[in-house]
Amino acid sequence: VSGIWGQRFTEKCLRHGAEVVQLVKEAGLTPSYDEIAKVLEEEKPQVLFLCHGESSSGTKQKLDGVGELCAKHDCLLVVDTVCTLVGEPFFADAWGIDLVYSGAQKCIGCPPGLSPMTYSDKAYEKVMNRKTKPDIFSFDVTEVGRQWGFNGDKRPYHHTPPINIMFAMREALQIVSEEGLEASWNRHLNAHYQLWEGLDKLGLKPFVKNPEDRLSTVNCIEIPDGVDAPRLIAHAYDKYNLEISGGLGGTAGKVFRIGLMGYNCTPRNVESVVTAFEAGLKEQKWL
Ligand SMILES: Cc1ncc(COP(=O)(O)O)c(C=O)c1O
């Protein structure tokens, strides 16, 4: 747990009656391979949750080797890729991740409302062989799967699907595949470099100190002493029609957050963000 999404996953598990052990890191840091290995060794959990991109603090979790480690401990690895899928390199199978979920509305560029998920064979087997049924019928993925015709089911009714968003998802994925995944990852990375080149010239500093741990899709900027953050955010909105976020959870009041995801992740938009920061800082006589 290094931010709001790890915290929220904890909350969800507790509400389902799970026993949770947290590996807590300060906002801006991520657990290392060795720290994860130690927890697996000591606690022997059935499930390990990691957030690939912790959007509240702008950190990226390294995942290489963690899948193998989990397999060794017979533990399922669940990863949140809501703000990273299509924006950051991610390899569910090669990294041995058992359950991945994401969001439609971030780097995929679809309207909100769908949560794409994928299961490894091991996770699928586990879900299909549950001893007890999930207490919420709507969230029973075995029923959802039957409606989609998994295992040769005759697609019995489970719920009315939001087909308008499914068509939108199809179109969004078409656009992603026309660009190509690698090209999309590079576009997000280049925008991140361009942003930091511009912000650095203004004297602004990244909140995440280790460059390797920085997300390209959500960028956290330290609020410098003497800067009125809400005033800068309002200025960017009024003068440039740009929405700059403040911090969330542990980063509230400490950072500005810039999302560069999907359709909005373009060199021109990055230029506008840097211009808005420069103007906002000058307006406050900080520059
Ligand atoms: C990493 C991460 N996980 C989960 C969520 C929650 O997504 P939603 O708002 O679609 O429930 C977000 C939203 O920003 C996120 O960035």
pLDDT at residue 230 in the model: 98
Around ligand 1, the residues with Cβ closer than 6 Å are 5, 51, 53, 55, 80, 82-83, 103, 112
- pLDDT tens across 49-78, in order? 999 999 999 999 999 999 999 999 999 999
Closest-CA residue, ligand 1 atom 12, reads 82
pLDDT the model gives residue 107: 98
Domains defined along the chain, listed by start = 4-175 (3.40.640.10), 180-283 (3.90.1150.10)
Q: Give the residue, out of 83, 88, 107, with the most ligand 1 atoms within 8 A of its beta carbon, to mutate for a pocket test.
A: 83
**CA distance linking residue 109 with residue 183, whole number of Å:** 15
Q: Which residue minimizes the CA distance to atom 10 of ligand 1?
A: 103
What average pLDDT does range 157-176 have in this prediction? Answer: 97
| Residue 149, number of CB atoms within 10 A of its CB | 11
- Closest by CA position to 50, among listed 248, 139, 39: 39
Query: pLDDT at residue 218 above 90?
Result: yes
In three-state secondary structure terms, 221 is: strand
Average pLDDT score, the chain = 97
Distance 103 CA to ligand 1 centre (A): 7
Residue 151 has pLDDT above 90, yes or no: no
Query: Which of 55, 85, 218 has most ligand 1 atoms within 8 Å of its beta carbon, as the pocket-test mutant?
Result: 55
The β-bridge partners of 221 are 206, 256
Question: Which of the two residues, 12 and 150, has the higher pLDDT score?
Answer: 12
Please tell me the distance between residue 284's alpha carbon and the centre of ligand 1 in angstroms. Answer: 33
Percent helix, percent strand, percent coil in the chain, to nearest 5: 45, 15, 45
Q: Ligand 1 centre from 82 Cα, in Å?
A: 6
pLDDT tens-digit profile of 73-103?
999 999 999 999 999 999 999 999 999 999 9
- The residue whose C-alpha atom lies closest to atom 8 belonging to ligand 1 is 103
Average pLDDT, integer, range 170-195? 98
Question: How many residues make up the chain in this entry?
Answer: 287
Rounded Cα distance, 241 and 243, in Å: 7
Residue 92 has a pLDDT of 97
In sequence order, which ranges of 141-220 are alpha helices (DSSP H)? 141-147, 163-179, 181-201
Distance 202 CA to ligand 1 centre (A): 30
What residue owns the CA closest to ligand 1's atom 15? 82
Nearest CA, atom 4, ligand 1: 82
Biggest alpha carbon–alpha carbon distance for the chain: 67
Q: What confidence category does residue 150 fall into, taking pLDDT thresholds of 50, 70 and 90?
A: confident
Cα atoms found within 13 Å of the Cα of residue 233, Cβ hemisphere only:
15
Going by CA atoms, what residue is nearest to atom 6 of ligand 1? 82
For residue 112, give the ligand 1 atom closest to its CA: 10
